[in-house]
Each structure stands twice: as structure tokens, then as C-alpha cells.
Amino acid sequence: MYITFDPGGCRCSPATLLTSSVWHTVPHQGRDMDCDRSLHFRAWTWLLLLVALNDSEASSDLNKSTNSTAQPDPNVRFAAASTEPDEKIAVFALDYDYVQIPYEVTLWILLASLAKIGFHLYHRLPGFMPESCLLIIVGALVGAIIFGTDHKSPPVMDSSIYFLYLLPPIVLEGGYFMPTRPFFENIGSILWWAGLGALINAFGIGLSLYLICQIKAFGLGDVNLLQNLLFGSLISAVDPVAVLAVFEEARVNEPLYMMIFGEALLNDGISVVLYNILIAFTKMHKFEDIEPVDILAGCARFIIVGVGGVFFGVIFGFISAFITRFTQNISAIEPLIVFMFSYLSYLVAETLYLSGILAITACAVTMKKYVEENVSQTSYTTIKYFMKMLSSVSETLIFIFMGVSTVGKNHDWNWAFICFTLVFCQIWRAISVFALFYVSNQFRTFPFSIKDQCIIFYSGVRGAGSFSLAFLLPLSLFPRKKMFVTATLVVIYFTVFIQGITIGPLVRYLDVKKTNKKESINEELHIRLMDHLKAGIEDVCGQWSHYQVRDKFKKFDHRYLRKILIRKNLPKSSIVSLYKKLEMKQAIEMVETGMLTSTAFSISNQAQRIQGTKRLSPEDVESMKDILTHNMYQVRQRTLSYNKYSLKPRSSEKQAKEILIRRQNTLRESMRKGHSLPWGKPAGTKNIRYLSFPYSNPQSSRRSMRAAEFTDYDGSDSELLSVMFNPHSCTGSLQERRCAQEFIPMKSLHRAGKPSNFSFQINTSQNQDVVGGRRMALRSQPFFHVVREEYESGEESEEDSVIRSRWSVEHRHSRDYQKSHSPLLHRK
């Protein structure tokens, strides 16, 4: 990744001379920390080398000796040996120069990854401090090692490397994972806050520091206004997303979440734009020569840069979405298209001196919606993970740089400047938060409370962005660059560690007034029930959008954009695409494992059978509470949980599947009984085959599993997950009626009777005994997996293939499978 090749003489000890001459080049030109850091690794490689050399020596000796003794033609060999040139041809040689740079970079990244693994192994740690803390510590450690063994000058990260290679992945990831709907709902507030906030912070801090610099006592007289403003702009770049993971558990409400996210997103872009403009100013004139017209030009430039960047990003987003429309048959290049176009948007914007960051953000946001629907399942996963990986790598490297440059002699410690920087950062952030939100609250229907504002204020954690910008200040224009770097580092350390660690408790404190730890089981159950109830009612109420614009955009989107950008034969609903991500295999596994596992329980079952009054010991109560807490379903989170450093595991999907399956079954069972749900549909007009899981052979259990996923109870359009099977089955179904997505009354589903069906019928009492040892953990109530094998197909032979092919419809990537069954299917 580092292409600055600077083979300065390595000042390491001779022992490492062999390998470190090029080692040295990796971006820390002038500083041989790598030589020393590499000592650590060199130790291993030396060992390896020694062993290898020994081996080779030994083997060559062995060769010679065998040559001389056992060979039928020793002379030839001897001759060959003796005619070798003076230097031996090494049987085993090492070529470090060749792999130097990638080798070192890989080792660094591995080191950081190992540290992250360790970080997550201890469960409580991620909730305790943000992950950027960890990265900084790793970097500092590396720097300390290097520093401890040799005194070197600071490392240098090239400006072009940072801007061209390290920054885009980070920004792309931010833009891609941003939840668009809440973003656009709050876009007014977000733009107001992020834009103006960054400006206020930058200029406020810059000006205050300039005033401080005027005070002769601090010896900062040589720092002029422009430099201070520049410093202010780079120090105001916050990275609050890093702390989101810390207070994730406290249910931060959605608008607040979006504000923080949006701020992080736009903040980088604005800082960089400001930074570049101010650098241009600095290069241009001395301060005194700057006229008002220049300032106006600067402002105009700011706006143009921002808007232009967004414009280009959107265009590229559309282009890439359009292209993914045609990549059905070569799905392997889909991630490539996504990444290349995003990167291209960045580069094009940079070419025109527009804001590449905003461009790539806009590209990601635009393209996400359409691309997600177009690409295959595996490409979708690939894109997500690869993006995370890239951004993770970039950020790791930046933090390592930061850590390395912390430990060193290249600091210019000026107490006044640093302390005042810290103070002013906090003050100006507080001012901007409270002032701006006061204003925007007037226009919001649901204003932000003071608590929310405090959280926003406190989440002003600086990150890698500030450090990079400080690091890349051109020394020629900024003679006191070291001081700036030092101050930046101090601010980052302070905010990341102190604020990052304390924000969790703060949020929890603000959120939860009284935590009654001694909740009885009763309370726990009821609380959870109420949470679910509340979430459900919220869903009934729906999202209230206030913007006509959004509705209009949706219409426009539906009518035109989607037609152009999305592939032809896709179902229309967005929930459908969510469903696609539930995989059948997982569902089967879940059922199978669900049946076979049982959680350890301390109470002996028989003894505690329900008989009037019985007292349970406290430990039993505790274990019960444990079971409840661990096994109760999570309430559906309206706020999306975004973790910058990892992709959330799919526990919510698993939960959703369980719930869905359970619902299907209860509904079917009650349908069969013809009661409890006031649907008024007669239950007996069809022959339903009942299969219970443990009893079925794998084939039919698979079938029943699938059928359990298909529900055919009423539902016309496709918002309902279960009903959404219909559109899927539509694309491959036999029935035009189905495709029309009408109401499908249950009673119409009828299949030619199969008397043998009923031989499988097992009712409750038998069920219990039959299951026996195998825990039918699902339910013991009458619970049948109704197999809907009729799909008006009327034909048995086709039924397997129908179901199989219908399942294949679910999997976008097994489209070919579906095609093979096309004779049976009427594709809509």
C-alpha cells in the first residue's frame, strides 16, 4: 500500500541490516522504527532463516557426501560441484526486498486483528469502551516498541496515500450502511446541524485559539489567524459513530441516532473541504493580502464543492445501479462494479476539485437501494463484508500511524495551546449543539430533549480524520506543525478514552432513572410483554413522515426509477427482499437444533411439578430469571443498530423465523380445530397432512419445513412476510391465480385425498410420549406442521419438484435451479 520508496540508510543495528534496508521504506521515511519494530518479527524470521540455512547447509553437505559414496556416477556430480562458481547457489534463500512492503503491512493488520479478537473475547469490553480505543492502544504499543529500542523521528504518511487509498473505504462504508429512510426524514436537521456545526466549531475554535496566541506570554505569536483557522477546521472533525456501539444497548431513539450518524457522515466531507480551502488561502497570500472578495470566493467555492460532489456521486450511483441490472449471469463481478463505481465517483470528483468524500457518500446512498435488489444474495453479502473489511483495514492503519507517532520525540509540547485547545473544543461543541438545536427544535415536530442534546454534545469524539489532516499539514506553510500534531493527538486521546469510556454510563444514567434490579419474574415477564406490545402498536401507527417531498420522491421512484434500474422479474415489495435473506437451510437447522437442545436447568423437574403451593428456593428463582432473560425474544428495535466495526449477527432473523414458524403452526392448528380465531372459515374442507418433526423422515420433514414456511392463509399483498411467499411462488408458481395475489381462501386449497396422510396424524397426547427423549422443544400443545402439499397442483409427482423449485425461487442465487424446472412453472 505504501509506494513511497525511500531507501535511506537504515540506522538499525547490523543484525537487522539484511532485511531492513527496504523495510525502512514503509511510510516512515526518516524513521527507522520499523527496523526496530521489525526486530520483533525479525526474531521469528531470523529463527526461520537460521533453521532454513542450517537445513540447507546440512542438506548440501549431505548431498555431497551421498554423492561421493553411493552414486553410480559420482564423478559427474563431483565435477558439477567443483565447477560451480565460487559463491554457492543457495538451496534456500530469502528475498525480503521483494515482499517487504506488503509483508509489513500485512503483519500490522494482523496484529490489529488479533488485538480485536482479544478485545471481543472479553464480552464486557466492547460495551465499555469504543473500539477505536483499542486500535489506538495497539498503535501506541507498536510505537512504544519502536521508540524504546531506537530514537527516531516521526513517521510520514503521504498525503496522496491517505486521500487516495485510506480515506475512500472509510467514507464508503459510512455511506453504504447509513439507513436512508431516517436519514432523509431528518435531513433538514442533519444538514443544519452537521454543516453549520462544523463551521461554527471550526471558526470558533480557530478564532479563540488565535486570540490565545496573541497573548505574548504563551510564546505562540508566530501562529497566525489562518493557521489557527485551519487547525480549528481539522480539529472539529468528529467521529461519533465510534461511540455508537457503546451506548447501543440503551435504546437511543431514532432521530438522535440519525443525527449522530449524519453528523459523522457529513462532517468528514465538510472538514476536508474547509481544510482544502484554507490551505489554498494559506498558499495564496499572506493573511494581510486576503480581500473580502477572496473570502466570498471561498464561500462560493465551499458550496460548489459540496453540491458538486453530491451531484457527481448521485450520477455515478445511478449508473452503477443501472449496470447491475444486467449482471444476472455474471454475478461475480457485481461487487466489483459497486466498488469501482464508488471509487470512480470519488476520483472524478477529486479531479474536478470537488468534494470526493461527499461524492462517494452520495454514490453509496443512491446506489444502495437499487443495487441491493439487483444483486444476488452472495454478492450482497460480499459487498457488505468487503466494505467493512476495507474500511476496517484503513482505519487500523491510520490508528497505527497515530499510535506510532505518539511515541516519539517529534512533539512540541506547548501547555497553553494544548490546554486551551481541549477547553475550546468542548466549549464550542457545547455552544454549537445547544444553539443549533434550539433553533432547529422550533421547526421539528418532535424536538430533541435536553438529554438528547447532552448526548450529542458528549459524543463529540475525535477520530482518525483529525489526525490525518493534522499530519498532512505541509511543513513549509506550517512551521509549527509539530505543535499542531501534538495538540491533535492530545485531543484525540482525551476524547476517545475519557469521553468514549464515560459516555456509556452517562447515557445509561440519563436514560434509566431508577433501575430496580430486584425485579421479580413477574415484572420481567410483564415488562417484556409491554415492550413487545409497545413495539407492535408503534408498528400499527407506522412511520409518520412529514414531508410531501418524500412521498413525491417515492412515487417518482416507483414509477420511473425502479423501472429503469431494477431487474425485470423481481417482486415489488421491499419486505420481500428482506425475506430473501432468510435462508431455508438456516430455518431447517434451527428447527433441528431447536428440537435437540435443552438448556440446563437446576430444578429437578418432577419434584417441582405444579401442585398448589410450593416454594422455590432463591437459586431456582435466579435460574429462572436467567432463563427468561436469555431466552425471551428481543423487542424489535426500531433504531437500527449500527456497529462500525462489525456486522451484527443475525440473531434477530433467527428470532423472526422462530416466531413466524410458530405463528404458521398455531394458525394452522387453530384452523384445523376451527375455533379461536374468528375467521369463520371452515377448517375441514381440505385434507391436511399432519407431520410432526421428529417423526418424519428427512424427506418429508424437509417438505414440511418448507411448507411450514409457505403459508397460504389470507393475504393479498406482500407486506406480510409470510404472505410474501406468494409473490415468490408467483414468480415460479403454477397458478395464475396465485400470481394475481388475490385472497386465497383456505378452503379452496384442496388436494386429492391421500388417505395415508392421516396415518401420520398424531395428536397431543401421543405426541408427548412419542417424542420421548427428543425434546420437542417447540411446543407440546397440539402442534402440527401442516404440510400444504396441495398447491392446486393436483399431481403428486410434480409436488416435490414444485416445492423444490419454489424454494429455489427464494434463493436468488439458485436461479439456475429454478430454470431447470421451468417447464413446471409459469413464470409471471
In terms of C-beta distances under 8 Å and separation of at least 24 residues, what long-range contacts does 528-532 make, across chains too? 528/628, 528/632, 528/633, 528/635, 531/635, 532/633, 532/635, 532/636
- State the Cα–Cα distance between residues 692 and 668, nearest whole angstrom: 13
Q: Supply 116's cell numbers.
A: 480485536
Q: Which is nearer to another protein, 68 or 676 (CB)?
A: 676
Q: How far is the CB of 663 from another protein (least distance, A)?
A: 7
Nearer to another protein among residue 122 and residue 544 (C-beta) = 544
Q: How far is the CB of 568 from another protein (least distance, A)?
A: 24
Torsion of CA 468, 474, 477, 481, to 10 degrees: 50
Q: What is the DSSP string of 574-631?
A: HHHHHHHTS-HHHHHHHHHHHHH-----SS-TGGG---S--PPPHHHHHHHHHHHHHH
Sign of CA dihedral 577, 578, 581, 583: negative
If the CB atoms of residues 158 and 714 are measured against another protein, the closer one turns out to be 714
**Closer to another protein by Cβ: residue 347 or 510:** 510
Specify the residue, 220 or 671, whose C-beta has the smaller distance to another protein: 671
Question: Measured between alpha carbons, how far is 726 from 809 in angstroms, rounded to an integer?
Answer: 11
H-run or E-run covering 716? none
635 in helix, strand or coil?
A: coil
Min dist CB 677 to another protein, Å, is 8
Minimum CB distance to another protein, residue 772 (Å): 13
CA dist 36 and 826 (Å) reads 69
Distance CA 481, CA 485 (A): 6
CB of 436 to another protein, least distance (A): 22
CB of 490 to another protein, least distance (A): 40
Closest approach of Cβ 743 to another protein, in Å? Answer: 8
**Beta bridge mates, 787:** 689
In whole angstroms, how close is the CB of 432 to another protein at the nearest point? 26
The 8-class DSSP code of residue 166 comes to I
Quick one: 358 or 723, whose CB is closer to another protein? 723
Q: Please enumerate in sequence order all residues whose Cβ is within 8 A of that of 618, keeping only pairs 6 or more positions apart, or say none.
A: none
Phi and psi, residue 761, nearest 5°: -70, 130
Minimum separation from the CB atom of position 126 to another protein (A): 23
In the bound state with another protein, the residue whose beta carbon lies nearer, of 75 and 780, is 780
Between 30 and 594, name the residue whose CB sits nearer to another protein. 594
Rounded least distance, CB 715 to another protein, Å: 6
Which H or E run includes 787?
strand 785-787
The smaller minimum CB distance to another protein, of residues 110 and 527, is found at 527
> Helix, strand or coil for residue 690?
strand
Q: Which is nearer to another protein, 286 or 514 (CB)?
A: 514
The CB-of-610 to another protein minimum distance in angstroms stands at 5
Q: Is 765 helix (H, G, I), strand (E, B) or coil?
A: helix
In the bound state with another protein, the residue whose beta carbon lies nearer, of 593 and 759, is: 593
Q: What are 289's three cell numbers? A: 493580502
**Measured from the CB atom, is 84 or 589 closer to another protein?**
589
**Min dist. Cβ of residue 190 to another protein (A):** 19
> In the complex, what is the shortest distance from the CB of residue 586 to another protein, in angstroms, rounded to a whole number?
13
Q: 292 or 678, CB closer to another protein?
A: 678
Q: At CB < 8 A and 24+ separation, what contacts does 195-198 make? A: 195/266, 195/270, 196/432, 196/436, 197/263, 197/267, 197/432, 197/433, 197/436, 198/233, 198/236, 198/237, 198/266, 198/267, 198/270, 198/271, 198/274
Closer to another protein by Cβ: residue 255 or 309: 255
785 — phi, psi (to 5°)?
-90, 105
CB of 380: closest distance to another protein in angstroms? 19
Q: Considering only CA atoms, which of 197, 261, 276, 297 is closest in space to residue 229? A: 276
Residue in 720, 588, 729, 590 with CA at minimum distance from that of residue 667: 720
636 burial (CB, 10 Å; 0-12 / 13-18 / 19+) is middle
What letters, b where the CB count within 10 A reaches 16 and e where it falls short, cover 555-581? eeeeeebbeebbeeebbebeebbebbe
